[in-house]
Every structure is written in C-alpha cells, then in structure tokens.
C-alpha cells in the first residue's frame, strides 16, 4: 500500500468510528421520538380539547420522525478543523448531547457550518482543513481534504480529487439529488443570505439555480422561524418538473414544503390549453383591471330602484343606492362579503324612505281631516291627553315609527333579499371570467386590446377552462371571495421567467410578507413570456424591491455543448456574456436523416449509445407535435421522451434533440425552446436534423 493510500485508509477508519457514534445518537433520537409518539397516541383524551391537543402533539412528533428518517441517508458529509484545533462535523441535521459542549453534528444550515461552504485559501475563515466524507449507508467509504491555511499536508490529510468532481460524475437518475455536501461558495452565499425580502437568482443553464432555490427553501425553514411557521411553497412550471425535484427537500429532512404548479395552487384542473398568442393575451395585466370592472359593473348600477315592501313598491332614489354602493365598495371587502354591507346600507336607506313617506302620509291625512271637519287632530289629541294628566305625549304620528323594528324586519325579508340579488348578485369566479370572455355578454372593454386581440380572447359558454384561464379565475376568486386562505411565509419560484403578469399576481397574493426566492433565465423563456428582464417582470408587483444575484458557472452543460450554442444565445439574448462550464465532454454530433427514416435513425442512435454507455439516462427532446409519432414508435422503451415545451429544468446524461428546425418553428420563441433542449445533457449531445423532403430528393 502506498503511503497516500495508507493515510487515506487510516483516516477513513477513524471517521468510521466517529460516524458510528453519530449514528447511535441518531438512532436514540429516532427511537425516542417513535416511543413518544406511541405514548401520545395511547394516552386517553377527555373531551374535544384534549383530543385536539393530543392530535397536535402526535402531528408534531410524526413530522419530527419524517424529518429524521428523511435525513438518515448521507447523514454526515463534512468536517471542518479550525485553526485552534476545534473539530466540527457537518450533516443534514444537528445532534447535540447534553453533556457535551460542542454539538455532535452541526446542521448544514447553522452559522457554524458556513465556513464549510464558503472558506477559500484566500479567505480561510479560521479553518485549517475542510474534509468531505463519502458514505454508503452509514459506512464511510472515502474522505477528501482541502487545506485552507496554506499549511503543508500532514500524515492526517487526504488531499485528492474534490467531491464536486465525484458528484458531477455520478449517473443521472431522472430525479434531482441534493447538493448539500458540495454547494459552491457563490451558491451558498445566496442560500444563506440574511435578506428576508425577494431574492432573484439568474444564470445560464445548469448553473445551479434549482439547486440554490431548493436549498434556500430548506434554509428559510431553519433560519426564519416566522416564515417557516406560515409554510414554504415551491412553485414549478409543470408536474414533470416537480417530479424531477420532489426528492431534494425530503432528503434534506424537510417534508412540509408544498410543491405545486399554478393550477394546483388555484385548485383548478384545466381541461384544455390555449394557443400561445391567446395565452400571452390572457397573461396580460390589463385583464386584472377588466375583471375588476366586470365585478364593479355587477354592483348596483346607477338609477332609482323600486323595491317591494309588503304590498307596496317603494322607490329608492338613485343617490341613496349609489351612496350604499360606494360605502360597500370602500369597506375593502370582496364582492360577496361586501354584499352584506350593501344590504344593510340599502335597508337603512329604505327605513329612512319609509319613515319619510309614512310621515308625509300622516300629514296628508291630518290636512284632509282639518279641511273636512275644521279640526286640528294633533291639537285635539294633545288637549285630550292633557286633560288625562299626560303631558309628554308624542308630538306627531311619525314619531311612533319604530325604525329599529322595521329595519330588523326588512333585513329578514325575502323580498329585500331578492332586491339585493338584483342589485348586488352573489358571483362565482367562473361567472366573472365568463362575463368577460364569453360572446354575447358586453364586458367592459380593456383599452389595451385591439378588436382582433379581443376576438382571440372570446370563448364559447361551454368551453372548458384552459391553463391560461387559471390565473384569471384565481384573480376573479380574490375579487368575489377575498384573498386566498392558504398563504405562505416564503415562496420559491423555479423557472420564474415563465410567469405572466396574471400568474405573478396569483403568487404575490399568497405571500403577504413578500419573502421570496425567484430563479430563472430569460434566455430560456417560453412563448407566453412577455417581459424581457426581471425589472419588467417584477416591477408591477414589487417595484425595485428585489436583490438580484447571478450564477456564472455551469455544473451541467459541458463546455463543448455551450460553445455550439453561442450563436443561438447571441440571437435570443444579445449581449449576454457566455457562461463557463466546469465540465468537459464529447463534441456534440449532428446526424441528418430523411423524414421517413427518422424513427429508424433515432432507434439506431439510441441502441448505439445504450451499448457504448450502458446504464446512462438519455433524453429524447422533440417538438410537441412529434410526440405522438415517437411515442407510437416505442422510443420510451429506450429513453425519456420529452416535448420541448416541457424540457425546462430537466437533465440527462445524454440528450438527442430531434429536428431543431421543427422545434424552432413549433411555437413562438421556438429558438429559446431549442436552446433549452440543447443544454440538457451532462455528457453528450446528438442532434438529428430532418431536412425538408424537397431538399433531400433534389
Ligand atoms: N454545488 C453543486 N454540487 C453538485 N452538483 C451541482 C451543484 N450545483 C449544481 N449542480 C448540479 O448541476 C446540475 C444543474 O443544476 P440546476 O438544475 O440547479 O441548474 P439550473 O441553473 O436550474 O438549470 P436550468 O437553467 O437548466 O434550469 C444539476 O445536476 C445539479 O445537481
């Protein structure tokens, strides 16, 4: 055994001992929590309040058990040796023994762990050495050290290949793994940022935006207790993407993060997708004003209003109705809730009207009696009462009107309810969106749209709701029923460049504290995106209140692949400096085929790649309208088949991109789809071009 190997073997052995001590403590904690849960569940509960308390305690313990179980795999992954000789081990969660001064294991999110991620030889942050541990289960397999204080390796230092290289060499599994052991300094600085407002992270493909976003979510849960109490939401562009990232947070011991798409957040399952030009229009902020105008148009139109009270019709002057409407609107309540305010104000106006008309009627009768008999009825009645010794008699008949009793009766009166329904009808979100977009109605016309655009927006009454209708329905829900019940303390949005104004409004509504981490890349924007940069996208919702960070190194896309996409990048994002990659790979290949030979060519390519690189994950990315043909040809038996519209954020060992021209032409902004497709591979890229048939036969 060489001297280096001997040192490594000895250090691995010594780490194994330490890790087994940590493992025992972890087991004690897990067993103890499970026993506690069993005791709580077995304890008797007397009455509803004790049952509730028991359920809360059981829920908390079950959550703790899930957290521990989630973090078990790869529990310990690092160690730092401070210049003063202190040793700290870093892991997915913290473990402490009462008798010890130092923690047995430091949670990676704790301040004490920061130097593990951010120390460099230039800024060693008090460290002598940083050590990475590679474990299989609980067995330490290898250690790798970096000396940070400029000292020479001693007989206890194992200086070799960095752990990042090992992490990047690992095969892709189709699910993203955590990068908690290898977060790089520029990523860690964002994950650990004390900024509680909005942080925007931009960067080219593979620079770790998703990695940063997910680790940031875990950090927020740990470091910002107030935000974590309200919960953390991670929003992704589609179910395929959420499936790709779904294991990262549980493996960091965080199970309570909500992962959702916009549709899931709104609780609506769309039955169709809109063409892109329609989706773009539906994403426009002008529709928020238009929806609010629809709701306003259903609130007590101008003019007098006749209400039936008992056998009589009472005419309410337009001024009174308008006053009730304005007061109800300024109550700040949503339409359906403000309806009660309006009803009460309307009834008040009616009571006043009844009192006034009652008094008028009595005066009229008095006048008629006086004219016929020459008798002043009021005076005569007062004189009678005085003779009887009663002198605080009511001065007139109108004072006998019991306004409170009349008001209470009217509030319970079905006829009044019917009148209010006419003036201020209860609305559903669907009513409002239908009123705006369905032919036949006369919605308030948003000025920003031309007649042609307006025609594109029209829907038939029984058309299913589309994906682009979802934010409109959500907006309408907030107008008629008020803000959403489920709000979050922190929101993480991945592929944030995809969001339309209406989707941003949905998200901002759910994050009253405006604490967010938004990651994305405008060079990868889809066809519904109108904004060209963050200021344009976020300005209407957040002004300039966001902290913009940029990641500069790609950990996925090889330098060779990035080089072939430079011209494309210059076209879709002029002036954008190219990013650099820490990966090297094979030069990308291009294969041309005739349209009718595409399937044969692709299958041959996949078979050859499968034979040369067994066990690797290959993604075949094609224009959406080619999916059916390739799925029918059984491509999914050999590779993951992904439509270009859903390739954002995904990653494969190898990618085969089908018919780049077809992807470019398939939908507006197709060159950005192509850029996304070309940057998904960590090792090799093959592009199959399908020249038009005429060119081939010529
Ligand atoms: N610090 C790191 N340690 C190990 N792997 C990393 C690290 N940072 C990024 N990676 C890996 O690089 C790949 C790309 O990361 P990620 O998906 O987060 O990039 P992205 O910027 O979101 O890409 P895209 O723009 O395509 O969505 C992933 O496999 C990820 O695990």
In this predicted model, what pLDDT tens digit does every residue of 37-82 receive, in sequence order? 999 999 988 888 989 999 999 999 999 999 999 888 889 999 999 9
Task: Say yes or no: CB of residue 184 within 6 Å of ligand 1.
Answer: yes
Range from 165-179, 505-519, 525-539 that averages highest in pLDDT: 505-519
Kindly give the distance from the C-alpha atom of residue 168 to the centroid of ligand 1, in angstroms, as a whole number.
Answer: 10
Protein residue whose Cα sits closest to atom 14 of ligand 1: 206
Range from 243-252, 382-391, 599-608 that averages highest in pLDDT: 599-608
Range 610-636 average pLDDT: 95
Q: Which pLDDT band, with edges at 50, 70 and 90, does 460 fall under? A: confident
Between CA 373 and CA 86 the distance in angstroms is 113
Q: What integer pLDDT is reported at residue 380 of this predicted model?
A: 66
Listed in sequence order, the DSSP H helices in 495-621 are 501-509, 534-542, 559-564, 566-572, 598-612
Q: What integer pLDDT is reported at residue 78 of this predicted model?
A: 93
Strand ranges in 290-332 using DSSP code E only, listed in sequence order: 305-309, 312-316
Q: What integer pLDDT is reported at residue 99 of this predicted model?
A: 84
Protein residue whose Cα sits closest to atom 11 of ligand 1: 555
pTM over 0.90: no
List residues forming the annotated binding site for ATP. 203-210
Phi, psi of 585, deg, nearest 5 = -155, -165
Taking only the tens place, the pLDDT of each residue in 260-315 is 999 999 999 999 999 888 999 999 998 999 999 999 999 998 888 888 887 788 88
Half-sphere exposure of 574 (CA within 13 A, CB side): 1
Between CA 491 and CA 546 the distance in angstroms is 14
Between CA 177 and CA 214 the distance in angstroms is 11
Task: Report, in angstroms and rounded to the nearest whole number, the Rg of the chain calculated over CA atoms.
Answer: 35
Task: Say yes or no: CB of residue 211 within 6 Å of ligand 1.
Answer: yes
Atom number of ligand 1 nearest to Cα 676: 26
Atom number of ligand 1 nearest to Cα 551: 21
Task: Say yes or no: CB of residue 164 within 6 Å of ligand 1.
Answer: yes
Give me 458's structure tokens. 């029209």
Range 102-128 average pLDDT: 92
Instruction: Estimate to the nearest angstrom the gap between the alpha carbon of 473 and the chain centroid.
Output: 17
Range 162-180 average pLDDT: 77
More confident residue, 412 or 396: 412
Range 605-610 average pLDDT: 95
Residue 387 has pLDDT above 70, yes or no: no
Range 23-30 average pLDDT: 94
Listed in sequence order, the DSSP H helices in 374-500 are 377-387, 403-411, 414-423, 429-437, 451-457, 470-481
Task: Say yes or no: CB of residue 555 within 6 Å of ligand 1.
Answer: yes
Range 396-425 average pLDDT: 81
Residue 548 has pLDDT above 90, yes or no: yes
ipTM of the complex: 0.98
Contact present, 78 and 181 (Cβ < 8 Å): yes
Range 2-20 average pLDDT: 83
Taking only the tens place, the pLDDT of each residue in 355-383 is 887 777 777 777 777 777 776 666 666 66
Please give the C-alpha separations between residue 690 and each of 594, 608, 677, 694, in angstroms, as whole numbers: 6, 20, 16, 11
Residue 449 has pLDDT above 90, yes or no: no
Kindly give the distance from the C-alpha atom of residue 527 to the centroid of ligand 1, in angstroms, as a whole number.
Answer: 24
Q: What integer pLDDT is reported at residue 180 of this predicted model?
A: 87
Question: Residues of the chain with pLDDT > 70: what percent?
Answer: 92
Atom number of ligand 1 nearest to Cα 205: 25
Order of strands across the sheet that contains 546-551: 258-260, 232-235, 490-493, 516-520, 198-203, 546-551
Give me 139's structure tokens. 């067995």
Q: Which domains does the chain have, with CATH numbers?
A: 1-161 (no CATH), 300-423 (no CATH), 586-689 (3.40.50.300)
Q: What integer pLDDT is reported at residue 340 of this predicted model?
A: 94
CB-count burial class (<10 Å; 0-12, 13-18, 19+) for 513 = middle
Kindly give the distance from the C-alpha atom of residue 179 to the centroid of ligand 1, in angstroms, as a whole number.
Answer: 8
Task: Say yes or no: CB of residue 237 within 6 Å of ligand 1.
Answer: no
Q: What integer pLDDT is reported at residue 8 of this predicted model?
A: 79
Question: Residues of the chain with pLDDT > 90: what percent?
Answer: 59
Residue 398 has pLDDT above 50, yes or no: no
Q: Which pLDDT band, with edges at 50, 70 and 90, does 388 fall under? A: low
Kindly give the distance from the C-alpha atom of residue 208 to the centroid of ligand 1, in angstroms, as a whole number.
Answer: 3
Task: Say yes or no: CB of residue 208 within 6 Å of ligand 1.
Answer: yes
Between CA 664 and CA 690 the distance in angstroms is 13
Q: What integer pLDDT is reported at residue 161 of this predicted model?
A: 58
Protein residue whose Cα sits closest to atom 25 of ligand 1: 205
Task: Say yes or no: CB of residue 521 within 6 Å of ligand 1.
Answer: yes
């Amino acid at each position: 055994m060489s001297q280096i190997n001997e040192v490594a073997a000895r250090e691995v052995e010594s780490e194994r001992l330490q890790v087994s001590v940590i493992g025992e403590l972890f087991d004690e904690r897990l067993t103890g929590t499970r026993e506690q849960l069993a005791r709580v569940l077995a304890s008797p509960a007397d009455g509803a309040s004790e049952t509730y308390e028991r359920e809360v305690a059981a829920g908390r313990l079950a959550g703790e058990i899930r957290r521990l179980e989630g973090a078990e795999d790869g529990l310990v992954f690092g160690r730092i040796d401070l210049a003063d000789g202190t040793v700290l081990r870093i892991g997915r969660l913290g473990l402490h023994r009462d008798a010890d001064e130092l923690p047995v294991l430091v949670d990676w999110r704790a301040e004490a762990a920061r130097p593990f991620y951010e120390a460099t030889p230039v800024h060693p942050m008090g460290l002598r050495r940083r050590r990475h541990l590679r474990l299989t289960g609980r067995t330490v397999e290898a250690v790798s050290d970096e000396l940070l204080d400029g000292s020479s390796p001693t007989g206890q230092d194992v200086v070799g290949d960095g752990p990042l290289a090992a992490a990047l060499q690992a095969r892709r599994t189709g699910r993203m793994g955590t990068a908690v052991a290898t977060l790089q300094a520029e990523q860690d600085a964002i994950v650990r940022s004390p900024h509680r407002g909005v942080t925007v992270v931009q960067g080219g493909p593979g620079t770790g935006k998703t990695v940063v976003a997910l680790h940031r979510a875990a950090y927020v849960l740990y470091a910002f207790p107030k935000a974590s109490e309200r919960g953390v939401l991670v929003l992704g562009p589609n179910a395929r993407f959420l499936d790709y990232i779904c294991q990262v947070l549980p493996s960091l011991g965080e199970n309570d993060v909500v992962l959702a798409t916009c549709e899931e957040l709104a609780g609506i399952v769309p039955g169709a997708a809109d063409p892109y030009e329609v989706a773009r229009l539906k994403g426009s902020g002008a529709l928020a004003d238009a929806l609010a105008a629809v709701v306003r148009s259903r609130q007590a139109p101008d003019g007098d209003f006749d209400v039936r009270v008992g056998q009589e019709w009472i005419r309410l002057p337009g001024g009174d109705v308008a006053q009730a409407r304005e007061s109800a609107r300024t109550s700040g309540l949503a339409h359906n809730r403000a309806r009660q305010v309006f009803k009460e104000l309307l009834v008040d106006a009616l009571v006043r009207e009844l009192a006034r008309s009652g008094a008028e009627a009595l005066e009229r009768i008095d006048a008629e009696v006086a004219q016929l008999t020459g008798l002043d009825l009021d005076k005569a009645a007062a004189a009678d009462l005085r003779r009887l010794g009663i002198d605080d008699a009511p001065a007139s008949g109108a004072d006998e009107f019991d306004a409170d009793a009349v008001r209470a009766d009217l509030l319970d009166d079905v006829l009044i309810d019917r009148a209010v329904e006419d003036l201020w009808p209860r609305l559903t979100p669907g009513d409002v969106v239908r009123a705006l977009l369905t032919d036949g109605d006369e919605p308030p016309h948003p000025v920003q749209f031309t007649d042609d655009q307006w025609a594109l927006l029209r829907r038939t009454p029984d058309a299913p709701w589309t994906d682009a209708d979802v934010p409109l329905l959500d907006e309408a829900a907030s107008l008629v029923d008020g803000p959403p019940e489920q709000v979050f303390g922190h929101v993480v949005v991945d592929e944030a460049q995809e969001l339309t104004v209406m989707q941003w409004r949905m998200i901002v509504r759910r994050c009253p504290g405006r604490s967010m981490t938004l990651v994305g890349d405008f060079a990868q924007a889809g066809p519904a995106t109108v904004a060209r940069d963050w200021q344009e996208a976020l300005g209407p919702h957040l002004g300039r209140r966001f902290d913009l960070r940029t990641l500069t190194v790609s950990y996925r896309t090889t330098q060779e692949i990035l080089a072939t996409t430079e011209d494309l990048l210059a076209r879709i994002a002029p002036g954008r400096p190219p990013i650099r990659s820490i990966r090297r790979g094979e030069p990308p290949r291009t294969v041309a085929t005739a349209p009718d030979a595409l399937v044969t060519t692709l299958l041959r390519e996949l078979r050859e790649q499968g034979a040369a690189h067994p066990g690797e994950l290959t993604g075949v990315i094609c224009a959406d309208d080619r999916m059916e043909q390739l799925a029918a040809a059984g491509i999914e038996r050999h590779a993951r088949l992904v439509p270009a519209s859903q390739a954002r954020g995904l990653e494969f060992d190898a990618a085969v991109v089908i018919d780049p021209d077809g992807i470019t032409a398939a939908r507006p902004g197709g060159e950005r789809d192509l850029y996304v497709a070309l940057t998904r591979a960590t090792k090799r890229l093959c592009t199959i071009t399908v020249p038009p048939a005429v060119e081939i036969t010529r």
